[in-house]
Amino acid sequence: MEVSEECRDEEHNVNSKTNKLQYGFICKYVTILFVLAVIMASCALWLAYRPKNPEFSVVEAVIYNLTVSPPSQLLTTMACTIVTRNPNKLSSIYYDQLTGVVLYKDQQITPQVMLSPVINEKKTTVEIPLKISGAAVSAVSVTEELANEIVRSTESGLFWLRVVLMGRVKWKLGGVRIGYYALSVKCDVLVTNTKDDSVGSLPSPRSTTCNVDFA
């Protein structure tokens, strides 16, 4: 029996539609696999190269002078050393627009001091000195209650201070810079009396870890 021309055309059309469906399915399947591969590769790269946050601590704090004069004016001379550690193996960290200030019972007791920019290379530790002396010293207005509290703390020899560091931070991975982010570092430090001429200092070798926030 001979197959009519019409049947052959119909069979050809069916085969063509089937091939197109198969081709479309294969294209979609390959596209999905490609997208998944890109996502997985991106996740792997991010996990491998994503920058970790720096760590901060205060390793030294010395109050050289605390003078309260009427009407509730406080003059503070002190110095402290903030240490920052970069835990990243592949990226360096750059800080700028840094300022430091010291609080006592959530009230400012020192003027805000401008600090130099800092570069923290890969897997290194850098000291950031905060010195409130010389031209940086100026009287700060405090409440009468706080002034009386400072006098009592001077006599007892115990000061809970909060050292605050603010500025901008960015990471550098190869030639690519990531950031800027606003940086806020808060370090609660217990300063005690010493036998020298200073009012108090941070007991050595104890260090104080800090709370670090980015925005």
Q: Which of 50, 94, 91, 95 is nearest to 174 (CA)?
A: 91
Q: What is the pLDDT of residues 102-151, one digit of tens each?
A: 999 999 999 999 999 999 999 999 999 999 987 767 889 999 999 888 88
Tell me the average pLDDT across 51-70. Answer: 88
Domains of the chain, by residue range, sit at: 1-50, 55-214
Instruction: Measure the CA–CA gap between 55 and 129, rounded to whole angstroms.
Output: 16
Residue 4 has pLDDT above 70, yes or no: no
CB 84 within 8 A of CB 123: no
Look up the CATH number of domain 55-214.
Answer: 2.60.40
Residue 5 has pLDDT above 80, yes or no: no
Mean of per-residue pLDDT scores for the chain: 81
Tell me the average pLDDT across 185-192. Answer: 90
Among positive and negative, which fits the CA dihedral 96, 99, 100, 105? negative
Residues whose CB falls within 8 Å of the CB of residue 172, separated by 6 or more in sequence, listed in order: 91, 92, 93, 94, 178
The secondary structure of residue 134, as a DSSP letter, is G
- pLDDT for the residue numbered 1: 47
Instruction: Measure the CA–CA gap between 83 and 58, rounded to whole angstroms.
Output: 6
In the numeric block, which tokens belong to residue 107? 């009230």
Q: What are phi and psi of 111, to 5 degrees?
A: -70, 160
Tell me the average pLDDT across 166-192. Answer: 89
The pLDDT-based confidence of 205 (bands split at 50, 70, 90) is very low
Residue 8 has pLDDT above 60, yes or no: no
- pLDDT for the residue numbered 150: 86
Instruction: Measure the CA–CA gap between 171 and 178, rounded to whole angstroms.
Output: 5
Most confident of the following: 38-47, 85-94, 203-212? 85-94
Pick the range with the lowest mean pLDDT from 17-26, 106-115, 188-197. 17-26
Instruction: Compute the C-alpha angle 85/86/87, nearest 5°.
Output: 105
The pLDDT-based confidence of 195 (bands split at 50, 70, 90) is very low
Q: Which of 122, 111, 198 is nearest to 159 (CA)?
A: 198
Provide, rounded to the nearest whole percent, the portion of the chain with pLDDT above 70. 74
CB 208 within 8 A of CB 160: no
- pLDDT for the residue numbered 24: 67
* Beta strands per DSSP E along the chain: 55-69, 73-85, 91-104, 107-108, 113-114, 118-120, 125-132, 140-141, 158-173, 176-192, 200-201, 208-209, 211-214
